[in-house]
Amino acid sequence: MDRREFLRTSGGIAAAAATGTSAALAQDGTAATVAGAPAVQSGARRLRLAMPWPDDGKGAGDSARRLAQRIEVLSGGRFRVEIGELEQARSGGIGPADADLWHVAEHDNVVLHPAFGFFAGLPWDEAHKPMELKGWLIAGGGQELWDDLAAGFGTKPILAGHTGPALLWAATPFETLTDVAGRRLHVSGLAAEAFRALGAEPVRLPAQLVKAALAAGDIVAADVGGAIGSMSFGLPEAAPYAYATPLTASGSALVLHVSRSAWDGFSASEKAVLEAAASEELATSIAEERAHREPIAIAMAARCGVTYGSPGSELTASMRSVGAAVVAHAAAFDGTAQRINQSYLSFARSVAAV
């Protein structure tokens, strides 16, 4: 179900007000030209943005479209951002070589290096909330460590959104270790390793195919992010059980990865444009998820018969234990991971002490 369709038909629920340079909405719910957007200048620099989601005004694709429009507006027409869909990352890299920008869930980059999980959202209860993550990046030294990690894969990473707390959507009850063992489920990041340790078979599908896979019984459970993303991809229609678990609770950071060669060629003001656009989109995505989470839960329970809950105590305890072990293993992967882990824990302790 389209988020905008939900907002139009769920009586009394208004869309979060667009701020600054957010995309306006046309009457049919598609993205319209940003109000007051300057005309693209003759000779404007073309930037190609690749992403793994459909550019259809839903979920993370909607966030990427807003981000692209903000970049154009804030650049005063100096940049023109063209969006293309990305089937999968190139071997050994974050995105296709012919793109300048990649908008991705950072969980997907854990396959390249497990330390990306610290910036995506850890699979345990101690994961940073979105604004704590931003605090670590800005004030705790996290951005420099992230830059060093991503530089090895040819990119400059910028936090540009967040899915909000995620749910595990299941076609059948998912409450005991028996429900997990031997089952196929769609999940990514370090959480995938934790589920594998519990005996499950994690798989990674394009998000737009997850609903059909659930309906066909090819997988029994899936995590595609927060409430807006889950609704956008129609998971409540195929999976009537929604679980808050220690392995998926943190959701995923949405990240703008900039080709390092492109980034190094930008002026200071051009770099500031990308950082400002990403920061504004982060704030918008967090606000939208917070505003819509409860109304979506109520509507999905009424329309689709969704039951919300938590796994049983034995499975929850096992998830926490395995999740902590997976994080510890990732933290010890190499010297880079060890430095990131030390910084992450130091900032977490300082926040907890306030």
pLDDT in tens, 90-133: 445 676 678 999 999 999 999 999 999 999 999 876 788 899 99
Looking at per-residue pLDDT, the higher value among 248 and 219 belongs to 219
Higher pLDDT, residue 54 or 161? 161
Q: Provide the pLDDT for residue 40.
A: 52
Query: Mean pLDDT across the chain, nearest whole number?
Result: 86
Delimit the domains of the chain by residue range. Answer: 22-163+252-292, 168-249+295-353
What integer is the mean pLDDT of 11-35? 36
Domains 22-163+252-292 and 168-249+295-353 share a fold: yes
Does domain 168-249+295-353 fall under CATH 1.10.10.10? My reply is: no
User: Would the pLDDT of 351 be above 90?
Assistant: no
CATH class of 22-163+252-292: alpha beta
pTM: 0.86
Angle at 75 between CA 70 and CA 80, to 5 degrees: 75
Give me the mean pLDDT over the 267-288 stretch: 97
Confidence of residue 55 (pLDDT cuts 50, 70, 90): confident
Amino acid at 152: G
pLDDT at residue 2 in the model: 52
The whole-number pLDDT of residue 241 equals 96
Residue 16 has pLDDT above 50, yes or no: no
